[in-house]
Amino acid sequence: MKTYDIAALPGDGVGKEVVSSAIEVIGALSDVHGGLAFRFTEFPWNCDYYMEHETMMPPDAMKTLAQFEGVFLGAVGNPAIVPDHVSLWGMLIKIRREFELSINMRPAKKVRGIESPLVNPKSFDLVVVRENSEGEYSEVGGRIHRGADEMAIQNAIFTRKATERAIRFAFELAGKRNKHVTSATKSNGIYHSMPFWDEVFTEVAKEYPDIESRSNHIDALAAFFVTKPYDFDVIVASNLFGDVLTDIGSAIMGSIGIAPSANINLSGKYPSMFEPVHGSAPDIAGKGVANPIGQIWTAKLMLDHFGEEELGRELLTIIEDATEAGIKTPDIGGRSTTAEVTEEICSRIRKKG
């Protein structure tokens, strides 16, 4: 029997609620599909841990996590007790960087049984490939002067290596999908990095003559996500542009609570990390109403990553069967609790098994 060893990091707020849901769902899947098992080892690192230890994770955390085949993360952040840049750079962003999780893959599609806020959503099915290691997320810069001259300088870093890697990944992915890549640019306003991004995009595109490509400025692209999301297949974007686009992607699906993501290590040197697009949602944490679908769909991406694509497809079908049957949390217009949605999905897995 193949057993995957996964580190579970529930994190803060609703992260804890939805990670335990998704672990239940994976357990049900493993039960009905002999020959496959997931062993989750949970680590209690979050903002409460920080309050006690003055660090988000212990000093040997990265070494510990490196021994697993995957990291399954809920969400990090409790700004009421720890400033966000401290908690996120101490955990989520630290793991992304130190494990070289250079690609953040974030699909968005029209989901059966979930109403999109768009008047005419048609059927859309896209994937944002977000550069995940550098760009606008940088520690380069500083705060200088005081008083009237006070200022903050924030530099963005765009290396050829990481830019090319993300763009190439997008073309490879499009080759397995609908053969279209859109680049998110802003070379009309951002003087150095974006013309460079465009140059690399044009170069890489030439290597893929069978794949159609185009560039859209990020502002127009954000609008197109709302007016014609069906016009996209794969979109490649810098770290910040990809971050914003994928919240729009989740919104047009119906809720940020359902969007999944995979942070991928391409070298095989470190485990990849799987986490939903949403955060710790302090406004609904502890109420038992968090939508577990983002985390469960994230588990599907983890199955795909391990080559268990058939199981992944089956899981997404069952998620959609459950939403179509009306078993939904309040964010997508239902009245069910996190536990009820989880149980519905588990029982459908067992019935289908």
Residues that bind ligand IPM (CB under 6 A): 88, 92-93, 243, 277, 279
Of the candidate spans 64-72, 161-169, 182-190, 271-279, the one that interacts with ligand NAD by CB under 6 A turns out to be: 271-279
d(CA 90, CA 54): 10
d(CA 86, CA 331): 29
219-248 positions binding Mn ion, by CB under 5 A: 243
d(CA 199, CA 203): 6
Work out the angle between the directed axes of helices 14-32 and 338-352 (0-180°, nearest 10).
Answer: 10
Residue 323's contacts (CB-CB under 8 Å, 6 or more residues apart) are 111, 112, 113, 114, 293, 332
Beta bridge partners of 4: 38
d(CA 30, CA 44): 24
Q: Where are the beta strands (DSSP E) in 176-267?
A: 180-185, 212-217, 234-237, 262-264
Does 257 bind ligand NAD (CB under 6 A)? Our answer is yes
DSSP at 157: B
Kindly determine how many residues on this chain lie close enough to bind Mn ion according to the rule CB under 5 A: 1
Which residue, 134, 129, 225, is CA-closest to 171?
129
Nearest distance from residue 34's CB to ligand NAD, in Å?
31
Of the candidate spans 52-60, 170-178, 276-284, 303-311, the one that interacts with ligand NAD by CB under 6 A turns out to be: 276-284
Kindly determine how many residues on this chain lie close enough to bind ligand NAD according to the rule CB under 6 A: 23
Phi, psi of 147 (to 5 degrees): 65, -140
d(CA 200, CA 188): 16
Which residue, 62, 89, 56, 88, is CA-closest to 75?
88
> Which one of ligand IPM, ligand NAD, Mn ion, none is in contact with 290 (Cβ closer than 5 to 8 A by kind)?
ligand NAD
Radius of gyration of the chain (CA): 20
The one among 79, 121, 175, 333 contacting ligand NAD by CB under 6 A: 79
> Which one of ligand IPM, Mn ion, ligand NAD, none is in contact with 283 (Cβ closer than 5 to 8 A by kind)?
ligand NAD
The one among 6, 19, 75, 129 contacting ligand NAD by CB under 6 A: 75
Q: Smaller CB distance to ligand IPM: residue 185 or 280?
A: 280
11, amino acid identity: G
Q: Smaller CB distance to ligand IPM: residue 111 or 248?
A: 248
Q: Smaller CB distance to ligand IPM: residue 265 or 317?
A: 265
- Could you tell me the two tokens for 140? 């380069």
Of the candidate spans 51-59, 188-196, 233-241, 287-295, the one that interacts with ligand NAD by CB under 6 A turns out to be: 287-295
- Pairing mode of beta strands 70-75, 103-109: unpaired
Does 279 bind ligand NAD (CB under 6 A)? Our answer is yes
Which residue, 138, 171, 131, is CA-closest to 155?
138
Contact pattern for ligand NAD over residues 291 through 310, marking x by CB under 6 A: x--x----------------
d(CA 7, CA 51): 22
86-105 positions binding ligand NAD, by CB under 6 A: 88, 92
Q: Smaller CB distance to ligand NAD: residue 87 or 163?
A: 87
Does 65 bind ligand NAD (CB under 6 A)? Our answer is no
Nearest distance from residue 279's CB to ligand IPM, in Å?
6
Nearest distance from residue 35's CB to Mn ion, in Å?
36
322-351 positions binding ligand NAD, by CB under 6 A: 331
User: Where do contacts with Mn ion occur on this chain (CB under 5 A)?
Assistant: 243
User: Where do contacts with ligand NAD occur on this chain (CB under 6 A)?
Assistant: 14, 18, 75-77, 79, 84, 88, 92, 256-257, 275, 278-284, 290-291, 294, 331
